[in-house]
Structure 1
Amino acid sequence: MRTLDFRRPVRFGLAVLLALAGVLVSPVAAGPVGAATEPGVTSVDRRPLGIAVTPDGSHAYVANSDWSTVSVIDTSTDKVIHKVRGLSDPAAVAVTPDGRRLYVTDSGADSVVVIDTATNVILSRVYVGQVPMGVAITPDGRRVYVTNAASDSVSVIDTDTDKVAGDPIRVGSTPIDLAFTPDGRRAYVVNSGYGSPTPVSVIDTATNKVTPLHVPIGNFPYAVAVTPDGRRAYVTDQNGTVSVLDTKTGKLLGAPILVGWKPADVAVTADGRRVYVATGQDETPVYVIDTSTDKATTVPLPLHSPTARITLTPDGHQAYVTLPCCGAVYRFAI
């Protein structure tokens, strides 16, 4: 297989997020890359960021920030079969456990867009805090938690009514991402504000009370994933490392794990044995961590392109990464 080089001239977007979090986003292409014929490559719209796969693995949804769209990919063919318009600056996506709805943070409109996955029609728009970035759905599908990067808060949406439930939850500076424990009892929020004394906030989802964790994670924590047994949380930071958090004690386990430049996302396999990390590094953009040793190695991929977000298919056989510099999604076996 030949190497796919997706680097292009620079054009910056998501200026608000860059100013807030100090995160260097990769160069962007002038338009979608014409590489749909390459195995595992799907052309989408400009600067794809968040990506999620339906529980049955049949479709993937991609938030394209610069073109204000969500691409719908048929995973059996790696082809875009629909494009949802009407958004401003989509950033992250999450699918409900029953696969019937998609929640998309629209950071340019301070809202979350709700999409019917059967029809790909926008059902409603829920206004939350300023610059909503991360989104996660509780395992029971009853609530959606949204990080508001410019409000230093988390909003909760009731999925029965698609209305905001209660007051915003105050967390640390510039919350970007969050993840739930498998039982849904706690949400781990990463706060990307420079020098934040509380890089991680833990929300008790029964009461929405917050416990700040004063742990020495590197500058600009950016993504978090919790292992299937709920015992560890893996947190990326823009120093090029991943920290391992003991969820029982709230303390770090061992030294930070060195990965590539600007690790932007993290995902844990269903068996909890491996953690995949998407980075902003050109030559080796994806790393894998063996959770038994917490050692990282590069994943050999035919890519010369920084990655933004990563998601794994429910069957545990495939991974998808978004390539913001070129308007593409890359699928590979794991």
Structure 2
Amino acid sequence: MRRTSLAFGLLAATAAIASGSLTAARAGGAPVALVTAETENALLAISLPDGKVLRRVTLPADPENVVADVGHTAVVVSARGHAVSLLDSRSLRVIKVLRDFGAPHLAAVTPDGEWAYVTDDTRGQLVTIELASKRVVDRLAVGAGAHHLTISPNRRRLWLALGEHARTVVIIDTTQPNRPRILRRFDPGIAVHDLGFSPDGRQVWLTSANSRSVTVVEAHSARRLFAVPAGPPPQHVAFNHAVSNLSHFAYVTSGNSGRIEKVDARNGHVLRVAPVPYGSFNLTTAGGLVVTSSLTNGTLTELTDQLRVMRNLKVAPAARDVGVVIW
């Protein structure tokens, strides 16, 4: 019951952001961006209403990926530090640091906030972490180069790319979240970089490592549905899972061209394109906000769901990844 209440509160607060940061504040919370400052070995908490640095936490070397939009635990992956840090997403208190990794790269948290999956590309593993107990409960051999991953909204499937230029995608059954098992592997016909399930779970979007398009496939069969024109590779993709009337839009970045586009996920039509700072690869959504971070310029860009730029903030020498929480 407590986890349900927390999830409901987060959903209500993020939904309130739909008309901007001020609305969220009036609803009893304000959006805060958690940014991995990779070269400073730190996680920053940035107030989106005013750009103020609220907290700075030192982490194991090379914090790359942060996942903080589900539940009350933030998961930060440090590749060169061979570690995964678990933090309270509101206070940024470090709860536990798990260190038995080769080169962990990316994490995904189940929609219920109870499980985290981390790819370890050196060991070729998918590592399962039970967030309640803060411990590793499973290591599944998936293949060398395990990298980007995405979890279905119903928590039953996980797709994983083997490499940043992946020619193999692994589909994993996560019906029993503590004992994932491989269902099959397939060649997507493109060099895949990032992956993302659509909010209805019917599609998986595969961004490219070497072309200016994103391939959309059917989740059940992996059958190609359509392609979306995009900027130079690699692209990254995000959806809005919290606000129902925004769930049929996808947001696609091209960091190497400094652009972000809003796409109708039902047919692949590009609806809007906006400039963002060069190096803005990673992105996230929260309510009516879209937020990108620039690995090259160290900037954080806050946009509306219509891709109107609200503010650009210089936050670090390099801002690798970003997640948004409500404080």
TM-score by length of 2: 0.76
Contact 1:50 1:91 in 2 (8 A): yes
List 4+ stretches of structure 1 deviating above 6 A: none
Contact 1:138 1:144 in 2 (8 A): yes
Pairwise mapping of residues 153-172 of structure 1 onto structure 2 (< 5 A)?
153-159=168-174, 160=176, 161-172=179-190
Q: Which runs of 5+ in 1 are unaligned?
A: 1-25, 319-334
The structure whose residues are more often strand, as a share, is 2
Find the counterpart in structure 2 of residue 59 from structure 1: 73
Q: Displacement of 1:144 after TM fit? A: 1.1
Q: Deviations over 1:212-256 (max 9, x none)?
A: 5152x22113311123433221111121111222222223224x3
Separation (CA, whole Å) in 1 of partners of 2:43 and 2:216 = 43
Find the counterpart in structure 1 of residue 39 from structure 2: 28
Find the counterpart in structure 1 of residue 196 from structure 2: 179
The structure whose residues are more often helix, as a share, is 2
> 2:251 matched to 1:234?
yes
| SS, match of residue 102 in structure 1 | strand
Contact 1:260 1:280 in 2 (8 A): no
| SS, match of residue 99 in structure 1 | coil
Separation (CA, whole Å) in 2 of partners of 1:49 and 1:35 = 12
Contact 2:115 2:128 in 1 (8 A): yes
Name which of 253, 260, 283 aligns with 1:266. 283
Find the counterpart in structure 2 of residue 137 from structure 1: 151
Q: Deviations over 1:195-220 (max 9, x none)?
A: x26x31212112222335152x2211
| SS, match of residue 319 in structure 2 | coil
Counterpart of 1:239, as a letter, is S
Counterpart of 1:244, as a letter, is K
| SS, match of residue 54 in structure 2 | coil
Contact 1:134 1:146 in 2 (8 A): yes
Query: Cα RMSD between the aligned structures?
Result: 2.5
Q: Which runs of 5+ in 2 are unaligned?
A: 1-36, 46-52
Separation (CA, whole Å) in 2 of partners of 1:140 and 1:182 = 10
Change (3 A) 1:27 1:72: closer
Contact 1:155 1:167 in 2 (8 A): yes
Counterpart of 2:209, as a letter, is S
Contact 2:38 2:319 in 1 (8 A): no
TM-score by length of 1: 0.75
Separation (CA, whole Å) in 2 of partners of 1:210 and 1:267 = 25
Separation (CA, whole Å) in 2 of partners of 1:48 and 1:64 = 4
Find the counterpart in structure 2 of residue 190 from structure 1: 207
Change (3 A) 1:164 1:252: same
> 2:137 matched to 1:123?
yes
Separation (CA, whole Å) in 1 of partners of 2:43 and 2:226 = 46
Q: Report sequence identity in percent.
A: 21
